[in-house]
Amino acid sequence: MYIPKYFTPKELFPPEISIPINGKFDPRNWRRFDERILMMADQIREDHGPMTGNEGGLTGCGFRLPIKKHATIHQTCWDHYDFDTLSQHPFGRAIDGHPKEKDVFSIRKSIILNRFKYLHIHFLEIDIFGKNSGKPWLHFDCRNFTRGTNGAPQLWSPKRGFVSVDEYLQWGDK
């Protein structure tokens, strides 16, 4: 089992799991994650400096629980309705990072250009900005997906759909 070096349970789990009623985080919860995405999160942290998950009132930057009323943490996520049906967060295959030092565009660029180092990152969201803060965040995931040009991750924008590596490297976010 891979336990991340740089991220605490609070940063990657919702409070129901990171701060359970008995007050003690159960380390078996790390099994909810695909270990590849935890390894990639540590790699980004090592290469690009401090990066947090949940912070400033945000939750769900890592693993997300289903929010249906009857749902409990013991249920699977097959019946989650509150997220995009292809969201990888309820399956523990995605993380939203909030870098402190480097800007998000330069980190995405490094992931695109160093595809062997970031082998397990298959998908990056681009053009995403916090509703209140206006700040971009770094969504990366290891979904089962065909890689893009020359093995680079697929780049997807909620505004533009799939965007080519060349276009993104030249023009950045929109």
Contacts with Zn ion by CB under 5 A lie at 94, 96, 139
Shortest Cβ 96–Zn ion spacing (Å):
4
Is the Cβ of residue 96 or residue 168 nearer to Zn ion in the bound state?
96
Q: How many CA atoms, within 13 angstroms, populate the side-chain half-sphere of residue 56?
A: 7
Q: Estimate the crossing angle of helix 104-113 against helix 35-48, to 10 degrees.
A: 120
User: By beta-carbon distance, which residue lies closest to Zn ion?
Assistant: 139
Nearest-10 Cα torsion for 140, 103, 48, 59: -50
Any residues with CB less than 8 A from the CB of 46 and at least 6 apart, and which?
6
Shortest Cβ 139–Zn ion spacing (Å):
4
Shortest Cβ 23–Zn ion spacing (Å):
28
Choose among 108, 77, 70: nearest CA to 92: 77
Look at the block and give the residue holding tokens 């699977």. 76
CB–CB of 122/141 below 8 Å? yes
Choose among 1, 4, 2: nearest CA to 97: 4
Is the Cβ of residue 56 or residue 69 nearer to Zn ion in the bound state?
56
Shortest Cβ 26–Zn ion spacing (Å):
24
Is the Cβ of residue 48 or residue 93 nearer to Zn ion in the bound state?
93
Is the Cβ of residue 94 or residue 142 nearer to Zn ion in the bound state?
94
Is the Cβ of residue 43 or residue 54 nearer to Zn ion in the bound state?
54
Shortest Cβ 137–Zn ion spacing (Å):
8
CA 167 to chain centre: 23
